[in-house]
Amino acid sequence: MISIAGKKTIRKINWRVYILLIPGLLFVSIFTFYPIAKMLIMSFFNWKIGYQQVSDFVGLDNYKNVLTDPIARKAMVNTLVYAVVTVPLQIVFGLLIAVLINGTKRFSVTFRLGYYLPVITSWVVVALLFKYIFSNQGLLNFFLSDILHIVDGPVGWLSTRWSALFIAMLLGIWKGIGWNMIIFLAALQAVPKEYYEASSIDGLNRRQQFFYITLPSIRGTILFALVMLCIGAFNTYTPIAVLTGGNPAHETEVVLTWMYFQTFNATGKMGYSAALSMIIAATIILITIAIFISLAREEN
Protein backbone atom coordinates (compact mmCIF):
# COMPACT_ATOMS: atom_id res chain seq x y z
CA MET A 1 0.00 0.00 0.00
CA ILE A 2 2.61 2.46 1.14
CA SER A 3 4.85 1.83 -1.82
CA ILE A 4 2.02 2.43 -4.28
CA ALA A 5 1.06 5.67 -2.61
CA GLY A 6 4.73 6.67 -2.45
CA LYS A 7 5.23 5.86 -6.09
CA LYS A 8 2.37 8.10 -7.04
CA THR A 9 3.76 11.14 -5.25
CA ILE A 10 7.32 10.77 -6.48
CA ARG A 11 6.29 10.27 -10.09
CA LYS A 12 8.15 12.90 -12.06
CA ILE A 13 5.96 15.83 -12.95
CA ASN A 14 6.06 16.61 -16.61
CA TRP A 15 6.62 20.36 -16.87
CA ARG A 16 4.86 20.36 -20.22
CA VAL A 17 1.61 19.75 -18.38
CA TYR A 18 1.68 23.38 -17.35
CA ILE A 19 1.74 24.47 -20.97
CA LEU A 20 -1.52 22.59 -21.45
CA LEU A 21 -2.95 24.02 -18.28
CA ILE A 22 -1.96 27.67 -18.49
CA PRO A 23 -4.15 28.99 -21.33
CA GLY A 24 -7.29 27.59 -19.77
CA LEU A 25 -6.40 28.67 -16.26
CA LEU A 26 -5.49 32.16 -17.36
CA PHE A 27 -8.71 32.49 -19.29
CA VAL A 28 -10.93 31.17 -16.50
CA SER A 29 -9.08 33.28 -13.91
CA ILE A 30 -9.50 36.54 -15.79
CA PHE A 31 -13.11 36.08 -16.79
CA THR A 32 -14.58 34.18 -13.84
CA PHE A 33 -12.30 33.90 -10.78
CA TYR A 34 -11.43 37.58 -10.83
CA PRO A 35 -15.05 38.83 -11.11
CA ILE A 36 -16.14 36.47 -8.34
CA ALA A 37 -13.38 37.71 -6.03
CA LYS A 38 -14.14 41.30 -6.94
CA MET A 39 -17.80 40.70 -6.26
CA LEU A 40 -17.03 39.32 -2.82
CA ILE A 41 -14.99 42.43 -2.01
CA MET A 42 -17.64 44.79 -3.39
CA SER A 43 -20.30 43.18 -1.24
CA PHE A 44 -18.58 44.60 1.87
CA PHE A 45 -18.41 48.15 0.51
CA ASN A 46 -20.78 50.92 -0.34
CA TRP A 47 -19.37 50.53 -3.82
CA LYS A 48 -19.20 53.49 -6.14
CA ILE A 49 -18.46 53.30 -9.81
CA GLY A 50 -16.59 56.13 -11.46
CA TYR A 51 -13.33 58.00 -11.41
CA GLN A 52 -11.84 58.97 -8.03
CA GLN A 53 -14.90 57.83 -6.14
CA VAL A 54 -14.15 56.53 -2.66
CA SER A 55 -16.02 53.41 -1.62
CA ASP A 56 -16.66 53.05 2.11
CA PHE A 57 -16.25 49.79 3.92
CA VAL A 58 -19.62 48.92 5.41
CA GLY A 59 -19.02 45.39 6.70
CA LEU A 60 -22.11 43.21 6.51
CA ASP A 61 -24.54 46.08 5.97
CA ASN A 62 -25.23 45.14 2.36
CA TYR A 63 -26.09 41.61 3.41
CA LYS A 64 -28.34 42.95 6.15
CA ASN A 65 -30.06 45.23 3.63
CA VAL A 66 -30.67 42.36 1.24
CA LEU A 67 -31.99 40.01 3.88
CA THR A 68 -34.35 42.59 5.35
CA ASP A 69 -35.56 43.89 1.99
CA PRO A 70 -39.11 42.61 1.46
CA ILE A 71 -38.72 42.56 -2.32
CA ALA A 72 -35.46 40.62 -2.14
CA ARG A 73 -37.17 38.14 0.18
CA LYS A 74 -40.08 37.84 -2.20
CA ALA A 75 -37.65 37.26 -5.07
CA MET A 76 -35.93 34.53 -3.07
CA VAL A 77 -39.24 32.86 -2.23
CA ASN A 78 -40.27 33.04 -5.90
CA THR A 79 -36.97 31.50 -6.98
CA LEU A 80 -37.21 28.71 -4.41
CA VAL A 81 -40.79 27.91 -5.40
CA TYR A 82 -39.73 27.89 -9.04
CA ALA A 83 -36.92 25.45 -8.22
CA VAL A 84 -39.02 23.19 -5.98
CA VAL A 85 -41.78 22.89 -8.58
CA THR A 86 -39.89 22.76 -11.86
CA VAL A 87 -36.91 20.57 -10.92
CA PRO A 88 -38.75 17.38 -9.85
CA LEU A 89 -41.39 17.67 -12.57
CA GLN A 90 -38.77 18.04 -15.29
CA ILE A 91 -36.98 14.95 -14.00
CA VAL A 92 -40.17 12.88 -13.73
CA PHE A 93 -41.48 13.78 -17.18
CA GLY A 94 -38.04 13.58 -18.78
CA LEU A 95 -37.45 10.14 -17.32
CA LEU A 96 -40.93 8.92 -18.25
CA ILE A 97 -40.47 9.98 -21.87
CA ALA A 98 -36.95 8.55 -21.99
CA VAL A 99 -38.20 5.17 -20.70
CA LEU A 100 -41.00 5.18 -23.27
CA ILE A 101 -38.69 6.15 -26.14
CA ASN A 102 -35.98 3.72 -25.10
CA GLY A 103 -38.17 0.74 -25.99
CA THR A 104 -39.42 2.03 -29.31
CA LYS A 105 -38.23 0.83 -32.66
CA ARG A 106 -40.14 3.19 -34.88
CA PHE A 107 -40.19 7.00 -34.91
CA SER A 108 -37.39 7.24 -32.36
CA VAL A 109 -35.60 9.96 -34.37
CA THR A 110 -38.90 11.85 -34.70
CA PHE A 111 -39.40 11.69 -30.95
CA ARG A 112 -35.86 12.74 -30.15
CA LEU A 113 -36.08 15.74 -32.43
CA GLY A 114 -39.61 16.71 -31.48
CA TYR A 115 -39.13 16.52 -27.74
CA TYR A 116 -35.79 18.29 -28.00
CA LEU A 117 -37.20 21.15 -30.07
CA PRO A 118 -38.07 23.41 -27.08
CA VAL A 119 -34.55 22.92 -25.68
CA ILE A 120 -32.86 24.21 -28.82
CA THR A 121 -35.26 27.11 -29.11
CA SER A 122 -34.07 30.35 -27.57
CA TRP A 123 -35.44 31.33 -24.15
CA VAL A 124 -36.33 34.72 -25.61
CA VAL A 125 -38.43 33.13 -28.33
CA VAL A 126 -40.31 30.70 -26.09
CA ALA A 127 -40.92 33.36 -23.45
CA LEU A 128 -42.41 35.70 -26.07
CA LEU A 129 -44.51 32.83 -27.34
CA PHE A 130 -45.89 32.11 -23.88
CA LYS A 131 -46.48 35.82 -23.36
CA TYR A 132 -48.61 35.78 -26.50
CA ILE A 133 -50.52 32.61 -25.59
CA PHE A 134 -51.30 33.80 -22.06
CA SER A 135 -51.93 37.46 -22.88
CA ASN A 136 -55.36 38.97 -22.33
CA GLN A 137 -56.34 38.43 -25.95
CA GLY A 138 -54.38 35.21 -26.14
CA LEU A 139 -55.24 31.65 -26.95
CA LEU A 140 -55.87 30.46 -23.40
CA ASN A 141 -58.34 33.22 -22.56
CA PHE A 142 -60.09 32.58 -25.84
CA PHE A 143 -60.56 28.91 -24.98
CA LEU A 144 -61.65 29.58 -21.42
CA SER A 145 -64.12 32.33 -22.12
CA ASP A 146 -65.40 31.86 -25.66
CA ILE A 147 -65.25 28.11 -26.11
CA LEU A 148 -65.55 26.58 -22.65
CA HIS A 149 -67.37 29.56 -21.05
CA ILE A 150 -65.61 28.94 -17.73
CA VAL A 151 -64.66 32.54 -17.17
CA ASP A 152 -66.53 35.72 -18.02
CA GLY A 153 -63.84 37.97 -19.38
CA PRO A 154 -60.15 37.65 -20.12
CA VAL A 155 -58.05 36.54 -17.15
CA GLY A 156 -54.89 38.57 -16.58
CA TRP A 157 -52.64 35.52 -16.29
CA LEU A 158 -49.47 37.54 -16.24
CA SER A 159 -50.67 40.31 -13.97
CA THR A 160 -50.86 38.57 -10.60
CA ARG A 161 -47.98 37.00 -8.70
CA TRP A 162 -48.84 33.32 -8.54
CA SER A 163 -50.56 32.92 -11.86
CA ALA A 164 -47.63 34.67 -13.59
CA LEU A 165 -45.18 32.44 -11.75
CA PHE A 166 -47.31 29.45 -12.67
CA ILE A 167 -46.95 30.39 -16.35
CA ALA A 168 -43.19 30.86 -15.88
CA MET A 169 -42.93 27.43 -14.24
CA LEU A 170 -45.02 25.85 -16.97
CA LEU A 171 -42.62 27.39 -19.48
CA GLY A 172 -39.59 26.17 -17.53
CA ILE A 173 -40.91 22.62 -17.33
CA TRP A 174 -42.02 22.54 -20.95
CA LYS A 175 -38.63 23.80 -22.13
CA GLY A 176 -36.59 21.58 -19.82
CA ILE A 177 -38.19 18.17 -20.35
CA GLY A 178 -36.30 17.53 -23.60
CA TRP A 179 -32.92 18.06 -21.96
CA ASN A 180 -33.79 15.57 -19.23
CA MET A 181 -35.12 13.15 -21.80
CA ILE A 182 -31.80 13.19 -23.71
CA ILE A 183 -29.69 12.83 -20.56
CA PHE A 184 -31.79 9.92 -19.28
CA LEU A 185 -31.92 8.30 -22.69
CA ALA A 186 -28.11 8.31 -22.73
CA ALA A 187 -28.08 6.76 -19.26
CA LEU A 188 -30.73 4.14 -20.06
CA GLN A 189 -28.84 2.97 -23.11
CA ALA A 190 -25.84 2.28 -20.91
CA VAL A 191 -27.76 -0.07 -18.58
CA PRO A 192 -26.72 -3.62 -19.54
CA LYS A 193 -29.53 -5.50 -21.29
CA GLU A 194 -28.61 -8.68 -19.42
CA TYR A 195 -30.03 -7.19 -16.24
CA TYR A 196 -33.45 -7.00 -17.82
CA GLU A 197 -33.19 -10.43 -19.39
CA ALA A 198 -32.11 -12.04 -16.14
CA SER A 199 -34.78 -10.27 -14.13
CA SER A 200 -37.58 -11.18 -16.51
CA ILE A 201 -36.54 -14.82 -16.15
CA ASP A 202 -36.79 -14.26 -12.39
CA GLY A 203 -40.33 -13.06 -12.96
CA LEU A 204 -40.04 -9.33 -12.41
CA ASN A 205 -42.64 -7.30 -14.25
CA ARG A 206 -41.97 -4.03 -16.01
CA ARG A 207 -42.79 -1.89 -13.03
CA GLN A 208 -40.53 -3.93 -10.73
CA GLN A 209 -37.77 -3.79 -13.33
CA PHE A 210 -38.07 -0.03 -13.40
CA PHE A 211 -37.79 0.32 -9.62
CA TYR A 212 -35.23 -2.41 -8.94
CA ILE A 213 -33.01 -2.16 -12.02
CA THR A 214 -33.50 1.03 -13.98
CA LEU A 215 -33.66 3.54 -11.14
CA PRO A 216 -30.62 2.22 -9.21
CA SER A 217 -28.60 2.02 -12.44
CA ILE A 218 -29.21 5.64 -13.35
CA ARG A 219 -28.88 7.11 -9.85
CA GLY A 220 -25.81 9.08 -10.87
CA THR A 221 -27.65 10.64 -13.79
CA ILE A 222 -30.57 11.61 -11.57
CA LEU A 223 -28.13 13.26 -9.19
CA PHE A 224 -26.45 15.04 -12.10
CA ALA A 225 -29.81 16.24 -13.43
CA LEU A 226 -30.87 17.36 -9.96
CA VAL A 227 -27.76 19.51 -9.51
CA MET A 228 -27.82 20.93 -13.04
CA LEU A 229 -31.53 21.77 -12.83
CA CYS A 230 -31.14 23.49 -9.45
CA ILE A 231 -28.35 25.60 -10.95
CA GLY A 232 -30.61 26.31 -13.91
CA ALA A 233 -33.54 27.29 -11.68
CA PHE A 234 -31.42 29.84 -9.84
CA ASN A 235 -30.10 31.02 -13.19
CA THR A 236 -33.60 31.99 -14.35
CA TYR A 237 -33.52 35.45 -15.81
CA THR A 238 -34.82 35.63 -19.38
CA PRO A 239 -38.29 34.06 -18.95
CA ILE A 240 -39.21 36.41 -16.11
CA ALA A 241 -37.62 39.43 -17.78
CA VAL A 242 -39.65 38.78 -20.93
CA LEU A 243 -42.90 37.47 -19.42
CA THR A 244 -43.48 40.01 -16.67
CA GLY A 245 -40.34 42.10 -16.20
CA GLY A 246 -40.83 41.43 -12.48
CA ASN A 247 -44.15 43.26 -12.50
CA PRO A 248 -46.64 43.99 -11.10
CA ALA A 249 -44.79 46.00 -8.44
CA HIS A 250 -41.87 43.52 -8.20
CA GLU A 251 -44.27 40.74 -7.23
CA THR A 252 -42.85 38.28 -9.73
CA GLU A 253 -39.13 39.08 -9.44
CA VAL A 254 -36.69 36.22 -9.19
CA VAL A 255 -33.28 36.80 -7.66
CA LEU A 256 -31.46 37.53 -10.91
CA THR A 257 -34.06 39.91 -12.32
CA TRP A 258 -34.11 41.77 -9.02
CA MET A 259 -30.31 41.91 -8.95
CA TYR A 260 -30.27 43.20 -12.53
CA PHE A 261 -32.86 45.83 -11.68
CA GLN A 262 -30.92 46.96 -8.63
CA THR A 263 -27.69 47.15 -10.62
CA PHE A 264 -28.89 49.15 -13.59
CA ASN A 265 -32.14 50.85 -12.62
CA ALA A 266 -31.43 51.90 -9.06
CA THR A 267 -28.45 54.15 -8.40
CA GLY A 268 -25.72 53.52 -5.88
CA LYS A 269 -26.81 49.97 -5.19
CA MET A 270 -23.70 48.18 -6.44
CA GLY A 271 -22.83 46.86 -2.99
CA TYR A 272 -26.39 45.66 -2.49
CA SER A 273 -26.36 43.80 -5.83
CA ALA A 274 -22.98 42.28 -5.06
CA ALA A 275 -24.24 41.00 -1.71
CA LEU A 276 -27.33 39.58 -3.39
CA SER A 277 -25.14 37.83 -5.97
CA MET A 278 -23.00 36.32 -3.22
CA ILE A 279 -26.13 35.10 -1.45
CA ILE A 280 -27.37 33.50 -4.69
CA ALA A 281 -24.01 31.81 -5.23
CA ALA A 282 -23.80 30.61 -1.62
CA THR A 283 -27.34 29.20 -1.79
CA ILE A 284 -26.60 27.17 -4.91
CA ILE A 285 -23.35 25.86 -3.45
CA LEU A 286 -25.13 24.86 -0.21
CA ILE A 287 -27.93 23.12 -2.13
CA THR A 288 -25.39 21.20 -4.19
CA ILE A 289 -23.48 20.13 -1.09
CA ALA A 290 -26.76 19.11 0.57
CA ILE A 291 -27.70 16.95 -2.42
CA PHE A 292 -24.32 15.21 -2.34
CA ILE A 293 -24.41 14.66 1.43
CA SER A 294 -27.91 13.22 1.38
CA LEU A 295 -26.89 10.90 -1.43
CA ALA A 296 -23.77 9.77 0.38
CA ARG A 297 -25.82 9.09 3.52
CA GLU A 298 -28.29 7.06 1.51
CA GLU A 299 -25.46 4.95 0.13
CA ASN A 300 -24.24 4.12 3.62
Partner 1 sequence: MKSWERKQKYKINFSETSRYSLLFLGLFITVIPMLYMIISSLKDNKSTFSYPPKLFPGLDEITFQNFTYILNNENFNNYLMNTLFVAFVTVLIAAVISSLLAYTFARFIFPGKRILYGMIISVMLIPGLAMIIPQFEMAVKFNLVNNLWGVILFYSAWVTPFTTFLLRGYIEDNIPRELDEAIYMDGGSIFTVYRYVMVPMASPAIAAVSILNFLFPFEELGWSQTILKSDEIRTLPVAITMFFQAHNRTDWGYVFAMASLSMVPVIIFYLVLQKYFISGLSSGSIKG
* Contacting partner 1 within 199-218 (CB under 8 A): 218
In the complex, minimum distance from the CB of residue 147 to partner 1, in angstroms, rounded to a whole number: 9
By CB under 8 A, tell whether 72 contacts partner 1: no
Q: Which uninterrupted H or E stretch holds 153?
A: none
Q: 3-state DSSP call for residue 45?
A: strand
Residues 247-286 binding partner 1 (CB under 8 A) are 256, 259-260, 263-264, 270, 273-274, 277, 280-281, 284-285
Nearer to partner 1, 85 or 241 (CB): 241
Q: How far apart are the first and last CA of the chain?
A: 25
Do the Cβ atoms of 94 and 226 come closer than 8 Å?
no
Q: Which of 6, 48, 84, 132 binds partner 1 (CB under 8 A)?
A: 132
CB 200 within 8 A of CB 208: no
- How far apart (Å, rounded) are the C-alpha atoms in residues 44 and 61? 7
Which of 6, 48, 146, 293 is in the footprint of partner 1 by CB under 8 A?
146
- The residues near 254 (Cβ < 8 Å, ≥ 6 apart) are 75, 78, 79, 82, 236, 237, 240
Which of 63, 234, 258, 261 is the binder for partner 1 (CB under 8 A)? 234
Rounded to the nearest whole angstrom, what is the least distance from the CB of residue 241 to partner 1 in the complex? 6
Asked if 142 interacts with partner 1 (CB under 8 A), we say yes
Asked whether position 45 contacts partner 1 by CB under 8 A, the answer is: no
Q: Judged by CB under 8 A, which stretch of 28-36, 55-63, 157-165, 196-204 contacts partner 1?
A: 28-36
CA–CA separation, 50 and 1 (whole Å): 60
Work out whether 162 is an interface residue with partner 1 (CB under 8 A): no
Going by C-alpha positions, the residue among 71, 53, 81 that lies closest to residue 276 is 71
Q: Measured between alpha carbons, how far is 230 from 84 in angstroms, rounded to an integer?
A: 9
293 binds partner 1 (CB under 8 A): no
Question: Among residue numbers 169 through 198, which ones bind partner 1 (CB under 8 A)?
Answer: 174, 177-178, 182-183, 185-187, 189-190
One-letter identity of residue 199: S
DSSP summary character for residue 49: -
Is position 101 an interface residue for partner 1 (rule: CB under 8 A)?
yes
* Three-state secondary-structure class, residue 46: strand
Q: CB 288 → partner 1: shortest distance, Å?
A: 6
Instruction: Return the residue of 66, 165, 242, 243 that touches partner 1, per CB under 8 A.
Output: 242
Query: Contact at 8 Å (CB) between 186 and 120?
Result: no
Interface with partner 1 includes 16 (CB under 8 A)? yes
